Structure 1
């Protein structure tokens, strides 16, 4: 038997923008609108009424109806659906540490400090690359990158080994009534950072797989266009050196506020590549 959410504060906290972004990301279609009051959506076999203001007295009851309909259509628990709604305005980066030290879901406090610091460095490397597309950032970081990092939040640690969750906000596209509108996504800076992290990590894997002693530096330098930087190399190797994991996996789920939906990504860098990545980073810095 699945749990039904009845807490009025939780139901009240689900905003119309979150719900409409979620429905659009799932392929639902808006059928009608009552300006200032509600919109009507078709989602599979379910027809949903979405109030446009949380001030309505029956707002929690309407959200309870919506969650029940989503539960029927998606055949999954309301708790999972509510969590997705809560995070719909964020790109979510999950960094998973699978090691002997995390078998019971906990982590030594000093290694936890390293884990948080190096996870920050991982995302900061992508934020720098998305700003100015250089291959190395040894000193002061771009102001756009620093502002972006100030907006990122830590979410609750997820279950499964030891997982840190970072929330990178993604603003919705709204009209004057606060309704989501279909406009081309020009990918402003804030929306480029997390895709740059994904492409940089994928490029790191590819460069490490293809690199021979003769072409190692060339492969890594060419990958800079995809977001691979010496800072990203250093963050990845530092995670492996300080935590001694079996592997580190980076999972990325993109915000429902994005006009162009992106599939869930999972990237892990083989521990055997660490010496090669470290050497390539040092060689690039020396050039």
Structure 2
């Protein structure tokens, strides 16, 4: 069923646990009452009733009265409060794009690219949070923790504005939490649940990448501006994702982070991306990939070229294929050297138009992709 943002927000905001979390974070006092809980503002000027469960008769009416009372108490709109309640148990990232054309719409090709980039962006944070090593290019085979995490991430509805993409990352509350404590994003990072560590890493890495782009623009420094920030999570995958949020014909991008009330942090400001920064990020991604290989990748495709000196011995081939399990399924032409026995196998695969696979370290040299240290070359059985 397709719903608009208002319907979505109200459905989420009518959850008793989310409402209780929101009221607790704003200092309201709870008192048990038949069928639910009576909440009183700290100055006792307002009170609201929260039913214990959705099945209670008149539940929707109670929630609408609650939202109306909160709007009067806080001097804000019901829609604003409803949105904050709906995401009170999740970290939410809002990516505000500015495509050309009518507000609230985006060209279909740009929209598809933006959503693909959104997934790659979140995945880059999950991989960085689940590994200790510093990599300029993340591995094609993602850690199990990162893949498990991605299954819990949700896309929210696009919101009012130019074209806003939303990502919901559910964050578990502290067990036994009796009061709201404010943590700085960098304090006690390892004690945080993995979901929160991903959100923190996303913000840290994104901010660092934008700062590196500024250094290139303002100080005319080289790729070292990015490699020096690799320990903060800056890598080719992140830079590609950020650059994919917009197109040359579009405006600036703004990324906002909203933190789950279940584990609050100090408020953080938005991160902006302009066209000049996007251009630098796109170039930086290419240079980072050229500077460091993607290790332990499996290439799957067809042999399209064979070359060796003489009738026997080792030789060079090229495969038109993709990286299996990678985030980018774009067809690439990949070159590699094979032993005599594997070259003979590649020749038969070429003649029979068979699919082959091989594992190694993928590196970019100029405009050419090269697979170094290839192992496990084989012809894949045809699907039936």
Please confirm whether the aligned pair reaches a TM-score higher than 0.5, indicating the same fold: yes
What is the distance in 1 between the residues matched to 2:229 and 2:207?
9
- Within a 5 Å distance, the mapping from 1:234-253 to structure 2 comes to 234-240=240-246, 242=247, 244-253=249-258
Q: 1:217: how far off?
A: 3.4
1:93 partnered with 2:97? no
Three-state SS of the structure 1 residue aligned to 2:245 is helix
Higher strand share: 2
Give the counterpart of 1:267 among 268, 271, 278: 271
Q: 1:278: how far off?
A: 3.5
Three-state SS of the structure 2 residue aligned to 1:158 is coil
What is the distance in 2 between the residues matched to 1:109 and 1:272?
24
Determine the structure 1 residue equivalent to 2:79.
79
- CA 1:52–1:226: 2 relative to 1, 3 Å: farther
Q: What is the root-mean-square deviation in Å for CA atoms of aligned residues?
A: 3.0
1:110 partnered with 2:118? no
Q: Is the 8 A contact 1:111 1:243 kept in 2?
A: no
The C-alpha deviation readout for 1:7-32, integer Å capped at 9, x for no partner, is: 9xx5897122101211233x314354
Higher Cα Rg: structure 1 or 2? Answer: 2
Give the counterpart of 1:201 among 206, 229, 233: 206
Higher relative contact order, chain-length normalized (CA < 8 Å, sep 6+): 1
Q: 1:70: how far off?
A: 0.3
Three-state SS of the structure 2 residue aligned to 1:92 is strand
Determine the structure 2 residue equivalent to 1:146.
147
Determine the structure 2 residue equivalent to 1:277.
281
TM-score scaled by length of structure 1: 0.80
Q: 1:57: how far off?
A: 3.5
1:233 partnered with 2:239? yes
What is the distance in 2 between the residues matched to 1:42 and 1:64?
18
The C-alpha deviation readout for 1:182-213, integer Å capped at 9, x for no partner, is: 48773111111122111111111212222455
Q: 1:46: how far off?
A: 2.1
Q: 1:244: how far off?
A: 3.4
- CA 1:255–1:243: 2 relative to 1, 3 Å: farther
Segments of structure 2 that go 5 or more residues without pairing to the other structure are 1-6, 184-190, 293-384
Determine the structure 2 residue equivalent to 1:4.
none
Q: Is the 8 A contact 2:129 2:197 kept in 1?
A: yes
Q: Is the 8 A contact 2:38 2:49 kept in 1?
A: yes
Determine the structure 1 residue equivalent to 2:27.
28
- CA 1:223–1:30: 2 relative to 1, 3 Å: farther
Q: Is the 8 A contact 2:118 2:241 kept in 1?
A: yes
Determine the structure 1 residue equivalent to 2:48.
48
1:159 partnered with 2:160? yes
Instruction: Indicate the larger mover: 127-136 or 148-157.
Output: 127-136
- CA 1:11–1:116: 2 relative to 1, 3 Å: closer
Q: 1:97: how far off?
A: 1.6
Determine the structure 2 residue equivalent to 1:65.
65
Three-state SS of the structure 1 residue aligned to 2:253 is strand
Q: 1:42: how far off?
A: 2.5
Segments of structure 1 that go 5 or more residues without pairing to the other structure are 1-6
Q: 1:55: how far off?
A: 4.2
Q: 1:95: how far off?
A: 1.4
